[in-house]
Structure 1
Amino acid sequence: MRATFMYGPGDVRVENAPDPVLREPTDAVVRIVRSCVCGSDLHPYHSMPAAEQGTPMGHEFLGVVADLGSEVSGLRRGDLVVAPFAYADNTCEFCREGLHTSCPNGGFWAAGDVGGAQAEAIRVPQAQGTLVALPGVEEDSALLPSLLTLADVYGTGYHAAKQARVRHGMTVTVIGDGAVGLLAVLSARQLGAERVILMGRHKDRTDLGREFGATDVVAARGEEGIAAVRELTGGRGTHAVLEAVGHLPAYEQAVGVVRPGGVISRVGVPQYEEAPIGFGSLFGPNITLTGGPAPVRAYLETLLPAVLDGTVEPGKVFDLTIDLDQTPDGYRAMDQRESLKTLIRL
């Protein structure tokens, strides 16, 4: 099969790789029909140490079940399925608590001996607990882009809002106009936020954010951006801040715009080791810091119906579609801000 590997900064290649096979009775093999490039893939794209052996890439996919282990039930060969970006058994105590990313029998795509999803096929451990069938959806359905967002970016934006305890009447700031930030806007509005301030600099993206429900846009960064949000909120700041970037300046903006008693929810993969959490920043004003990798599997059944009936269209975050062999171009387009999120069609 063909699969994507990263060899170092800016060095992405699509190469021949062994076809995946069943290894455990709980496995499935899935033929991938849609994948994509994630904003988090750009972190190693900038900083991965160069290596002679490539690292498999990709963690978001829709596919068709090609083979099933003997212990997998509830799925059939030929089923179109969506997979969250972390696999899990969906039965352990952590999964039952909605923390699938902490499943002791789980893990992440492109880690260990599990392949990446920017490929023609993939082995799926814990298939019964991980894969969610999409009955009635065809391989060429116009719904596929929106369904693909359920693998990561929509569920991650929703997780940001859920962890921040967003509810009716609240004012929320979203930091970041990438796909996760835009879908955090959508999620905050779905959960009842009255006002959503989107902090982002790219008008084409913030226009989509307004379509998803942002009531205000602040393009300024740093102290200027903080002052603008404070002015919009009468100096008080916002009840919740959803940080979808992962860099320290974004966290510092979050601290600057959250109101006393508020919540900062971080879902941007942190690219820093330390952040201020002292008396003046969080402790004194009773601010809660939360977030983490989204247990997307926990939200799939909640978010799926509105995607299937067209009530929401999170797939609008995809603005470039490519074939698998063009994946290196997809990385470059996202890195150069020519694409918000790139869809890979197989």
Structure 2
Amino acid sequence: MRATLMYSAGDVRVETVPDSRIKHPTDALVRITASCVCGSDLHPYHSMTTADGPARMGHEFIGVVEEVGPAVSTLKRGDLVVSPFAISDNACEFCRENLQTSCSHPEANFWDGIEDEGAQAEAIRVPLADGTLVKLPVAADSALIPSLLTLSDVLGTGYHAAVKGGVNARTTVTVIGDGAVGLMAVLSAKRLGAEQIILMGRHQARTDLGREFGATDVVAERGEEGVAKVRELTGGLGTHVVLEAVGHMPAYRQAYGVIRAGGTISRVGVPQYEDAPIGFGSLFGRNITLTGGPAPTRAYIDELMPDILNGIIEPGKVFDATVNLDGAPGGYQAMDNRENLKVLLAP
């Protein structure tokens, strides 16, 4: 079978690898029909050393079940399924608390922690298949596939940011970052009732989509200038909630610059730094809450899917390019060059 491997920073290749196969009774083998390149994939694309490669890539996919292990009870051959980016049994104490990214099962993991498996490929072995995979009530060629694929990561991650931030009809919101997750955070804040949503981003095609998703204001400025503009838009107070979808220190500093006293900063951008200021001059002195983390997207799929099926939301609009599997290396480069927002792979 064919799969995408990253050898080092900037070096992505599609190669023939051994076929994925069932290893454990709780596994399923899935033929992938749609996957994509994630913004978080660009972090190793910038920094991976040859010592860490080659690594199988991809953690978002939809596919058709080809085979199931003898202990799998809820899935059968031919089912179309979507997978969250974290593997879980969906049954342990943490999963029952909707924190599947902290599942206590020994086989629970993130996809990049599973050796010799990745979603940017023709097929994949799915551990803990009953808990991880969710059946989709559409055909593999449905026009809804791009939107349903966002349930795997970016929509659930943006929604997690908004939920953890406590967004509701009484909160004003700033979203930092106009990547796919930031735009999903805008859509999620709108879904939860926020009436003022300020999107901080500099790329007009993306911020235009952000306005379509519900942003009421766009601030292109960064740093102190950007902070001043947001405060101007909020009567000098800042917003009740900031959804930080970038993960770099300047974005974090921007977040505590625009947050209202007593507000909440919710981070879902994978942090590319070890320490974040939380002292008197940043968070403590103004009673600001810091929250966020890896999104348990499995917890949100059942809630969000009906809105996609009913046409209430169309998160698949974040995909602005579609290529076949062999086009994956070019997809990485196009996203890194900001030529594309998010690239869909159709093997």
Bin for the TM-score computed over the shorter chain: over 0.9
Q: Does 1:341 align with 2:342?
A: yes
Alignment partner, residue 122 of structure 1: 124
Once the two structures are superposed, the pairs formed by residues 159-308 of structure 1 within 5 Å of their partners are: 159-308=160-309
Q: Distance in 1 between matches of 2:53 and 2:260?
A: 48
Q: Given that residues 8 and 52 in structure 2 are in contact (C-alpha distance below 8 angstroms), is that contact kept between their aligned partners in structure 1?
A: no
1:260/1:334 CA distance change after superposition, 3 Å: same
Deviations along 1:220-239, one digit per CA (max 9) or x if unpaired, are: 00000000000000110000
1:233/1:311 CA distance change after superposition, 3 Å: same
Alignment partner, residue 320 of structure 2: 319
Alignment partner, residue 17 of structure 1: 17
Q: Given that residues 40 and 270 in structure 2 are in contact (C-alpha distance below 8 angstroms), is that contact kept between their aligned partners in structure 1?
A: yes
Deviation at 1:120, TM superposition (A): 0.3
Letter in 2 for 1:242: L
Q: Distance in 1 between matches of 2:66 and 2:126?
A: 11
Letter in 2 for 1:173: T
Counterpart secondary structure, 2:221? coil
Q: Distance in 2 between matches of 1:85 and 1:112?
A: 11
Once the two structures are superposed, the pairs formed by residues 19-58 of structure 1 within 5 Å of their partners are: 19-51=19-51, 53-58=53-58
1:249/1:52 CA distance change after superposition, 3 Å: closer
Deviation at 1:112, TM superposition (A): 3.6
- Structure 1 portions without partners, runs of 5+: none
Deviation at 1:169, TM superposition (A): 2.2
Alignment partner, residue 111 of structure 1: 113
Q: Given that residues 8 and 53 in structure 2 are in contact (C-alpha distance below 8 angstroms), is that contact kept between their aligned partners in structure 1?
A: no
Deviations along 1:73-113, one digit per CA (max 9) or x if unpaired, are: 11111000000000100000000001000002211113142
Letter in 2 for 1:293: P
Q: Which of 246-255 and 45-54 deviates more?
A: 45-54
Q: Distance in 2 between matches of 1:52 and 1:317?
A: 30
Q: Which runs of 4+ in 1 moved over 4 A?
A: none
Letter in 1 for 2:241: A
Alignment partner, residue 81 of structure 1: 81
Percent identity between the aligned chains? 70
Deviations along 1:23-45, one digit per CA (max 9) or x if unpaired, are: 11110000000000000000000
Deviations along 1:150-203, one digit per CA (max 9) or x if unpaired, are: 000000000000000111121000000000000100000111111000000000
What is the TM-score normalised by the length of structure 1?
A: 0.99
Deviations along 1:230-276, one digit per CA (max 9) or x if unpaired, are: 00001100000000000000000000000001000000000001111
Q: Distance in 2 between matches of 1:323 and 1:145?
A: 14
Letter in 2 for 1:26: T
Letter in 1 for 2:98: G
Corresponding pairs, count:
345
Alignment partner, residue 5 of structure 1: 5
Q: Which of 315-324 and 69-78 deviates more?
A: 69-78
Deviations along 1:12-62, one digit per CA (max 9) or x if unpaired, are: 000011111111111000000000000000000000112484100000000
1:201/1:52 CA distance change after superposition, 3 Å: closer
Counterpart secondary structure, 2:18? coil
Q: Does 1:134 align with 2:136?
A: yes
Counterpart secondary structure, 1:110? helix
Alignment partner, residue 150 of structure 1: 151
Q: Distance in 2 between matches of 1:292 and 1:178?
A: 17
Q: Distance in 2 between matches of 1:213 and 1:53?
A: 40
Q: Distance in 2 between matches of 1:63 and 1:52?
A: 28
1:151/1:100 CA distance change after superposition, 3 Å: same
Q: Distance in 2 between matches of 1:51 and 1:36?
A: 25
Alignment partner, residue 333 of structure 2: 332
Taking only aligned residues, the RMSD between alpha carbons, in angstroms, comes to 0.9
Deviations along 1:261-315, one digit per CA (max 9) or x if unpaired, are: 1000000000001111101211111100000000000000000001112111000
What is the TM-score normalised by the length of structure 2?
A: 0.98
1:237/1:53 CA distance change after superposition, 3 Å: closer
